[in-house]
Amino acid sequence: MAIEVREVSKRFGEFQALSEVSITVADGALTALLGPSGSGKSTLLRIIAGLETPDTGMVLIDGEDVTSSPARSRGVGFVFQHYAPFKHMTVHDNVGFGLSVRKRPKEEIRDRVSELLSLVRLEGLAERYPSQLSGGQQQRMALARALAVQPQVLLLDEPFGALDAQVRAELREWLRRLHDEIHVTTIFVTHDQEEAMEVAEQIVVMNDGRIEQSGSPRALYEAPANEFVMSFIGPVNRLGDAFLRPHDIQLLSEEGGGEEALVERVVHLGFEVRVELKLGDGRELWAQVTRETAQQLEVQEGQILTVRLPAPRVFAQAG
Amino acid sequence: MSSSSGGTLTVGAKPSGRLTRRGRARGGEATTLGSSRGGRLALRTVALGYLAVLLGAPLVMIFYRTFEHGLAPVWNAVTAPNALHAMWLSLEIVLIVVPLNTIFGIGAAILLERGRMPGRTLFGLLIDMPFAISPVVVGLALVLVYGRAGWFGDELAAQGINIIFSVPGMVLATALVTLPFVVRETIPVLREMGTDSEQAAETLGARPWQTFWRITLPGIRWGVGYGVVLTTARALGEFGAVSIVSGRIEGQTQTLPLYVQDRFENFDTTGAYTAAVMLAVLALITLLAMNLLARRANKKGGR
Amino acid sequence: MLGRGLLVLYLSILVLLPIAALSSKAFSSGTNAFWHAISSPEAWAAIKLTVIASVIVVLVNAVFGTIIAWVLVRDEFPGKGIVNSIIDLPFALPTIVAGLVLLSLYGKNSPVGINVTFTRAAVVLALLFVTLPFVVRSVQPVMIDLDRSMEEAASSLGASNRTVLRRIVLPTLAPAILSGVALSFARAIGEYGSLVLITGNLPFKTEAGSVYIFGQIQDENLVAAAAVSVLLLLIALFVLGVLNLVQRRWSRHVV
């Protein structure tokens, strides 16, 4: 189901969480709301879910105005950052909760729950309590619980934020595949640009309660609309008003065709090598090169290299 | 005194299992305070000595005094008609007050912790009032409202309703004195539980009352249980307020604590000691229940 | 909405109305009558006794409560679990029973030869009994969380045990001790049940404030009873308020 948010604003006391935000999410899309903390992304998600009411504006799901309908009748599945498990219920009862409050017959609930548990690979853990599961398992349980009621829309609030790096990577991959399988319109909130780029088909970048830009990961990276998006998505060098991606900087050992720069520090990060440079006029920047290039150039501290800079990106100063 | 000052007014902090496990002194190290052997023994002696003189020895003594002439007089004292009546009346009051204050306590806790209504601070302050009021003053205040010469005295008399010097007044007095316990024990568990699981239930299609019965109530049950135990103990033992509003009519408005005083003042020491020991045993059972509940809450409450 | 209304109604019937009635009664015959009631020699003696006994009791509690909390947290001995649970007994024990319990050992036929009945010591003893748990239970959790490394660091810097106690431990515990003291005080000021059997309630000698109020009610002297009630209530609220304020300011410094 398509989701549309029209000019939604929300204020908590003195804090303006959202100012006239509008977004459209196509049916079946996998979208990320990306932004730093306090950017309003979670508030926007909670407004779509019906867990917060907007001060002004509208929320439409499948063309229908749901702004004033309660969360329980919106047909959304919501997954919380800290999983929000029902601690006093078994995994089975957690996952079956949505069906059980709808008074479905026991057999139907049992079948549906076991189907979902195998979808999220928690077979055999049905009689455990949440406290007996790992963080990653709890999050998968929460996902199965949300999917049990066959939501039209799946909303995830920093779903992997509380997990350690390795489990995170696994679950991202898994979420993507799950989405390919069930094709439910999905929006997830994250502050991690890598996570957004890796998982989402569409990214909405938020800052200060506003939307900075939205588009495909590639479009955002290659054609950022402004300084904020450019520096939030991927690393940047800032030279005055100009912005450069570190991997666009070419390093040459022979003279000519560029500026001279002093190598101040070399950091080996495996495949990637980070070279910190100082230009003749004192400006500092860093270049990202492959291990191979670094070996060919025999880069070392104190060396003078020729640096070829690409055409920098300059944004009109807003405000 | 403010409602938000978390726990400042909580009576009866939970004796948690943690206390005994984590409090292990590291023997031999002279680095932390009192960890020298001599200092530790001295402090232990002072603490245990104080407790023995104030608490332990008198408690043992009352059991000894009660049973020093054997079981027969004790049995006679327990089965005396007025003693039995006092027991039933105490039980009756507990059975009315505890459910009332439990329902009120859960509702008030949710309102104070989750609600955004204006006047919340005042509401919380009023709930805490009984902690600061003498039971005697509670009794007096009730007499001034519901008594013969009180605010509603004439109206109530015209309707033929007796509140003071009868059971309803005793129920009011007991309810007022025990008002804060469930509220104050429920608020912290409610806060710790957070709102995520309730909101999760909501997005899964649960109606408000389904969320309450199936998510909120099970989530706070140990805290509520602890409050209920404290309420019960206090309701069984309330003396001052009940003493004033009951009129202390033998065989009619005499609860077990009032009966203790009555027997003592009539020089029936066996009767007084027997009733007191019964109440003391109930208090010990209460302590046991408190311990079990606190342990359960610690175990289940963790992630 | 309906639920909220019922809650407010219940609270009004139970708390708001009675307190309003009490205050209005206290001043029903004017401010002069109020002053007259609380300054009658017997009332004044009872109020003075209650306040002084309460102050003594909270001071003793502050010291012994902290020591007991320390022993329960830092020490290890057989039977500690039982001692730890028995601390709460005064909360669970009916006050009239508390009085009788004390009387059985420290009364007329005391097997240890100590008879406190009809003395002011009985007032202090009974109040100590019923307020025992407050300081222990408020200090205990703070002491569990007390960072031992802080003490170790201080003593490794050459601080003596006494200095560590004065400069590190006590300031950290102070807010908790104060909170226990405030609750003890409020309880002691209004205590009634544990006093009636053991003190003999002798006017000008062992009659506490609440016992005096009780007597006035029996004599149908409700204005005097209400006046002293309001005064005791104000004292309790004032002490709770002030100590709460001090305690908050204090904990802000420490944390």
Residue C14: list chain B partners with CB under 8 A: 172, 175-176, 179
Whether C183 contacts chain B with CB within 8 A? yes
Cβ pair B210:A70 closer than 8 A: no
What is the model's pLDDT at position C255? 44
- Establish if B6 belongs to a structural domain: no
Give bridge partners of residue A78 from the DSSP assignment.
A155
H or E stretch covering A286: strand A284-290
- Residues B281-295 have a mean pLDDT of 88
The pLDDT of residue B154 is above 90: no
Cβ pair B203:A102 closer than 8 A: no
- Residues B113-130 have a mean pLDDT of 84
What is the model's pLDDT at position A273? 92
What distance in Å separates the CA atoms of residue C111 and residue B68, rounded to the nearest whole number? 13
What is the model's pLDDT at position B11? 41
Cβ neighbour number for residue B39 with a 10 Å cutoff: 13
pLDDT in tens, B228-259: 999 999 999 999 999 999 987 878 889 999 99
What is the model's pLDDT at position A90? 95
What is the model's pLDDT at position C1? 57
**Predicted confidence band of residue B264 (pLDDT cuts 50, 70, 90):** very high
Q: Give the nearest partner residue to B203 out of A78, A82, A87, using CB atoms.
A: A78
Give the 3-state secondary structure of residue A63: coil
- Establish if B40 belongs to a structural domain: yes
What distance in Å separates the CA atoms of residue C196 and residue C191, rounded to the nearest whole number? 10
What distance in Å separates the CA atoms of residue C88 and residue C101, rounded to the nearest whole number? 15
Nearest CA in chain A to B217: A88
Residue C75: list chain B partners with CB under 8 A: 23, 25, 40, 43-44
What distance in Å separates the CA atoms of residue A68 and residue B21, rounded to the nearest whole number? 52
pLDDT in tens, C154-196: 777 777 777 777 787 888 888 899 999 999 999 999 999 999 9
pLDDT in tens, A122-149: 999 999 999 999 999 999 999 999 999 9
Instruction: Output the pTM of the full model.
Output: 0.84
What is the model's pLDDT at position B116? 78
What is the model's pLDDT at position B23? 36
Whether B208 contacts chain C with CB within 8 A? no
Same domain, yes or no, for B99 and B55? Answer: no
- Residues A69-92 have a mean pLDDT of 93
The pLDDT of residue B122 is above 90: no
Residue ending a domain, choose from B8, B42, B66: B66
What distance in Å separates the CA atoms of residue C170 and residue A52, rounded to the nearest whole number? 46
The pLDDT of residue B14 is above 60: no
Nearest CA in chain B to A86: B197
Which residues of B lie inside 8 Å of A (Cβ-Cβ)? 196-197, 199-207, 210, 214-215, 218-219, 300, 302-303
**Predicted confidence band of residue B6 (pLDDT cuts 50, 70, 90):** very low
Residue B133: list chain C partners with CB under 8 A: 190, 233, 236
Residue B203: list chain A partners with CB under 8 A: 49-51, 71-72, 74, 76-78, 146
- Establish if B72 belongs to a structural domain: no
Domains of chain C in sequence order: 2-254 (1.10.3720.10)
Q: What is the ipTM of this complex?
A: 0.89
**Predicted confidence band of residue A17 (pLDDT cuts 50, 70, 90):** very high
Q: Give the nearest partner residue to B15 out of C19, C88, C106, using CB atoms.
A: C88
Cβ pair B104:C10 closer than 8 A: yes
Domain of B292, CATH number, reads: 1.10.3720.10
Same domain, yes or no, for B116 and B234? Answer: yes
Contacts across the B-C interface (CB distance below 8 Å): 301
Cβ pair A80:B200 closer than 8 A: yes
- Establish if B76 belongs to a structural domain: no
Q: Give the nearest partner residue to A78 out of B200, B206, B302, using CB atoms.
A: B200
Same domain, yes or no, for B153 and B106? Answer: yes
Q: What's A159's DSSP letter?
A: T
Residue C6: list chain B partners with CB under 8 A: 107
What is the model's pLDDT at position C252? 66
Cβ pair C144:B22 closer than 8 A: yes
- Establish if B73 belongs to a structural domain: no
Same domain, yes or no, for B98 and B234? Answer: yes
Cβ pair C15:B291 closer than 8 A: no
The pLDDT of residue A47 is above 90: yes
Residue A145: list chain B partners with CB under 8 A: 200, 204
What is the model's pLDDT at position B160? 84
Same domain, yes or no, for B278 and B210? Answer: yes
Nearest CA in chain B to A72: B205
Give me the number of domains chain B comprises: 2
Same domain, yes or no, for B53 and B136? Answer: no
Best of B14, B16, B123, B140 to disrupt the C interface by mutation (most C CBs within 10 Å)?
A: B140
What distance in Å separates the CA atoms of residue B137 and residue C40, rounded to the nearest whole number? 19
**B105 token code pair:** 């306590």
Best of B51, B55, B101, B164 to disrupt the C interface by mutation (most C CBs within 10 Å)?
A: B55
Chains B+A touching (3+ CB pairs under 8 Å): yes
- Establish if B15 belongs to a structural domain: no
Cβ neighbour number for residue A177 with a 10 Å cutoff: 10
Residue B106: list chain C partners with CB under 8 A: none
Identity at B243, one-letter amino acid code: S
- Residues B29-37 have a mean pLDDT of 56
**A222 token code pair:** 């290659």
Least confident of A68-77, B24-33, B101-110, B270-279: B24-33
What is the model's pLDDT at position B35? 59
CA distances from A136 to A118, A159, A186, A199 (A): 15, 10, 19, 17
Whether C164 contacts chain B with CB within 8 A? yes
Tell me what the pLDDT averaged over chain A comes to.
91
If one compares A311 and B49, the residue with the highest pLDDT of the two is B49
Cβ pair B200:A142 closer than 8 A: yes
Nearest CA in chain B to A81: B196
Same domain, yes or no, for B136 and B254? Answer: yes
Which chains border A (3 or more CB–CB pairs < 8 Å)?
B
Query: What's the N-to-C CA distance of chain C in angstroms?
Result: 40
- Provide the domain limits for residue B293: 81-299
Tell me what the pLDDT averaged over chain B comes to.
84
Cβ pair C229:B43 closer than 8 A: no
**C100 token code pair:** 């009788």
Same domain, yes or no, for B52 and B96? Answer: no
pLDDT in tens, C26-61: 998 889 889 999 999 999 999 999 999 999 999 999
**Predicted confidence band of residue B15 (pLDDT cuts 50, 70, 90):** very low
Which chains border B (3 or more CB–CB pairs < 8 Å)?
A, C
Residue B190: list chain A partners with CB under 8 A: none
In the numeric block, the tokens 């104190």 are attached to: A302
pLDDT in tens, A215-269: 999 999 989 999 899 989 888 888 878 888 898 888 888 777 788 889 999 999 8
Domains of chain A in sequence order: 3-229 (3.40.50.300), 242-310 (2.40.50.140)
Residue A97: list chain B partners with CB under 8 A: 201, 204, 206, 214
Identity at C65, one-letter amino acid code: G
Query: What percent of chain B has a predicted confidence (pLDDT) above 70?
Result: 86
What is the model's pLDDT at position A317? 60
The pLDDT of residue A9 is above 90: yes
Q: What is the DSSP string of chain B?
A: --TTSTTTT--S----HHHHHHT---TT--SSTT-SHHHHHHHHHHHHHHHIIIIIHHHHHHHHHHHTT-HHHHHHHHHSHHHHHHHHHHHHHHHHHHHHHHHHHHHHHHHHHH---TTHHHHHHHHHHHHHS-HHHHHHHHHHHHSTTSTTHHHHHHTT---TTSHHHHHHHHHHHTTHHHHHHHHHHHHHH-SHHHHHHHHTT--HHHHIIIIIHHHHHHHHHHHHHHHHHHHHH--HHHHHHHTT-TTTS--HHHHHHHHHHTT-HHHHHHHHHHHHHHHHHHHHHHHHHHHHHHHHH--
Query: What percent of chain C has a predicted confidence (pLDDT) above 90?
Result: 58
Whether C248 contacts chain B with CB within 8 A? yes
CA-based nearest distance A116→chain B, Å:
15
Same domain, yes or no, for B95 and B240? Answer: yes
Half-sphere exposure of B247 (CA within 13 A, CB side): 15
Residue B236: list chain C partners with CB under 8 A: 94
Q: Decide: C19 and B137 in contact? Cβ < 8 Å.
A: no
To the nearest 10 degrees (0 to 180), the angle between helices B135-146 and C209-218 is: 30
What distance in Å separates the CA atoms of residue C127 and residue B205, rounded to the nearest whole number? 54
Same domain, yes or no, for B152 and B279? Answer: yes
Chain-centroid distance of CA B225 in Å reads 11
Least confident of B211-220, C126-135, C166-175, C212-221: C166-175
What distance in Å separates the CA atoms of residue A137 and residue A38, rounded to the nearest whole number? 28
What distance in Å separates the CA atoms of residue B142 and residue C15, rounded to the nearest whole number? 9
Q: Decide: B74 and B66 in contact? Cβ < 8 Å.
A: yes
Sheet with A153-157, edge to edge strand ranges = A76-79, A153-157, A185-190, A30-34, A202-207, A210-215
- Residues B160-180 have a mean pLDDT of 92
Q: Which of residues 224-243 of B touch C (CB under 8 A)?
A: 230, 233, 236-240, 243
Nearest CA in chain B to A69: B203
Same domain, yes or no, for B139 and B44? Answer: no
What distance in Å separates the CA atoms of residue C194 and residue B279, rounded to the nearest whole number? 14
Cβ pair B205:A72 closer than 8 A: yes
Cβ pair A86:B302 closer than 8 A: no
**Predicted confidence band of residue B29 (pLDDT cuts 50, 70, 90):** very low
- Establish if B27 belongs to a structural domain: no
Q: Give the nearest partner residue to C76 out of B25, B58, B172, using CB atoms.
A: B25
**Predicted confidence band of residue C253 (pLDDT cuts 50, 70, 90):** low
Q: Decide: A91 and A131 in contact? Cβ < 8 Å.
A: no
- Establish if B200 belongs to a structural domain: yes
Same domain, yes or no, for B184 and B41? Answer: no
What distance in Å separates the CA atoms of residue A89 and residue A78, rounded to the nearest whole number? 18
